[in-house]
Amino acid sequence: VPGSDPALFIGGSFTIANGAEMYRISRITNGSMLETDKGVSNTVYSVQAHETSGIVYYGGAFLDATGVPVGSVTSWDGKNWDQMGGGVSFPSTCDASGTQPEIAIVYSILLLGGGGCIAFSCSPEQRPKVFVGGRFELAGEGKNMVKARNIAMWDPAAANGEGRWSSLCDSNPPNRCDIDGVSYRGTSAQAASPVYVFSLAYHAASNMLYVGGLFQSAGQRYANINSLAAFSLTSKSWSIVGGGIAGPSPVVHALYISPGSQDLYVAGSFSAVGKQNSDVLSAGLNAGNIAVFSLTSGSWNTLNGGIPD
């Protein structure tokens, strides 16, 4: 937090830390573990601190932040929890069995922009845009709800500072997006296929958002893009990254681009890069679960074979 001692923010499924009640989030400052208000109601999977303002964002599977209703994502500015327009969710069910809707999960948070303020003094225009990835189908609430399959963006300055969620989708030509994010590929009969977004990374020079997880298509239902995709924030279009990745149920768990770098680090469970499982005529490159993609040359580096299973 600007103007204060450095802190390490942590989240998980704990309720006791250092002998004191701390509900799933905490911070460590000067060797002391401190609570953040009264925490959140369920597991935290992602924590991101906005370095210039000190606002901390949390994602997970929780619906309450110290008594404030939220939807699996929230932020703490030192005084208040932000409901962020209702967060993300799944459609409610109304059948006679009383089945509850699946709880949305946010696994990854990426912050873009914002600054020029400190914590609770920040106006909506000074807060960052927030990209979230996980497992959900909707973002927002009421008349402002939008379809957003497993990835969405929160703009706190939209609607004169009220904030709005949007999907990463452009239905207009030439993009013709029809699935509002990433999903299974093909017909509705495959809807039970597990789909997740686990990691996000941003490349400033190209204004490109990279998305990793477990999915079969991006932007269009029949687009063959497996578990690693790129979304242009300029053209609002989805694309495959370097020919893709392959292997038995390929999945990407982590993405990283260091500041100023032109390299995308990709880690997960895959055995080849430069191809997908459907590319029977492409040999690709053998890779052991980790590889680096050059954002300038478009080539892969398999890091001497990577990490074997």
Note the pLDDT tens digit of each residue in 100-132.
Answer: 678 999 999 999 999 999 989 999 999 999 999
Write the CB contacts of 121 (distance below 8 Å, at least 6 apart in sequence): none
User: What are 268-282's pLDDT values in tens digits?
Assistant: 999 999 999 999 888
With respect to residue 305, please indicate whether it lies within any of the assigned structural domains: no
Yes or no: say if 115 and 72 are a contact pair by the CB < 8 Å rule: no
| Residue 257 structure tokens | 């681009």
With respect to residue 292, please indicate whether it lies within any of the assigned structural domains: no
In our burial notation (b when 16+ CB lie closer than 10 A, e otherwise), range 267-278 reads bbbbbbbbbbbe
What region does 114 belong to: left with phi over 0, alpha with psi -120 to 50, or beta? left
With respect to residue 109, please indicate whether it lies within any of the assigned structural domains: yes
- Domain limits at 153? 7-257
With respect to residue 307, please indicate whether it lies within any of the assigned structural domains: no
With respect to residue 300, please indicate whether it lies within any of the assigned structural domains: no
pLDDT at residue 1 greater than cutoff 60: no
With respect to residue 43, please indicate whether it lies within any of the assigned structural domains: yes
Instruction: Give the end-to-end CA distance of the chain in Å, rounded to a whole number.
Output: 40
Q: Count other Cβ atoms within 10 Å, centred on residue 283.
A: 9
Residue type, 81: W
With respect to residue 264, please indicate whether it lies within any of the assigned structural domains: no
Across the beta sheet with 151-155, the strand order is 105-112, 129-135, 151-155, 164-167
pLDDT tier, 32 (very low <50, low <70, confident <90, very high otherwise)? confident
User: What are 183-237's pLDDT values in tens digits?
Assistant: 987 655 445 578 999 999 999 999 999 999 999 999 998 889 999 999 999 999 9
Please count the structural domains in the chain.
Answer: 1
Residue 298 CA to residue 282 CA, distance in Å, equals: 16
Q: Which residue has the higher pLDDT, 289 or 78?
A: 289
What's the CATH code of the domain at 196?
A: 2.130.10
Could you give phi then psi for residue 295, rounded to 5 degrees?
-80, -10
Question: According to the model, what pLDDT value does residue 192 have?
Answer: 58
With respect to residue 19, please indicate whether it lies within any of the assigned structural domains: yes
